[in-house]
Amino acid sequence: FNKESGHHVEECKLRVAYVAPPRPPSPVKEGSEEGSSPRASVSDNGSYNSAYLASKRALISKLNEEKNATILENNKLQQEVELLGREAKRDYSGMKFVYVILVGLVSIILGYLLKLT
């Protein structure tokens, strides 16, 4: 719009309210406990989905078993790392003693050779 002579322009501010779109319903019924018995529930089309719930519970139990197996494997690996660390310390201390003896023998031989010349 142009504000020219002879034209009447009226300004008005409109208030706008943003409304979030409705969320689709969740396919999993809320409020079910993990240890409870599987109950058949009715979906929108009227069919029972107890097989769906049973498969979900089987998946959860499989994942829990895998988690427990992973925790056990992690504990075993930590024990192996600690054992290897102790063995490395023991081997390293033995290496120091061999190094001292080797340096001593080399210095005796060098001293003997220098005395001869």
Tens of pLDDT, residue by residue over 7-26, are 777 777 888 887 777 777 76
* Residue 70 covered by a domain: yes
* Residue 77 covered by a domain: yes
Q: Whole-angstrom Cα distance, residue 98 to residue 104?
A: 10
| Residue 40 pLDDT > 50 | no
pLDDT digits (tens, 9 = 90+) for 70-90: 999 999 999 999 988 887 776
* Residue 13 covered by a domain: no
* Residue 100 covered by a domain: yes
Query: What's residue 38's pLDDT?
Result: 47
* Residue 79 covered by a domain: yes
Tokens of residue 32, six digits: 């079910």
Query: What's residue 77's pLDDT?
Result: 93
Type of residue found at 13:
K
Closest to 28 in 3D by CA, of 19, 14, 39: 39
Mean pLDDT of 53-74: 91
* Residue 2 covered by a domain: no
Query: What's residue 100's pLDDT?
Result: 85
* Residue 12 covered by a domain: no
Query: What's residue 23's pLDDT?
Result: 76
How many domains are contained in the chain?
Answer: 1
3 state SS of 14: coil
Query: What's residue 93's pLDDT?
Result: 59
Mean pLDDT of 47-63: 82
Closest to 50 in 3D by CA, of 40, 59, 42: 40
Give the ranges where the chain is alpha helix by DSSP (H). 50-116
Which residues span the domain enclosing 97? 50-116
Query: What's residue 19's pLDDT?
Result: 79
* Residue 112 covered by a domain: yes
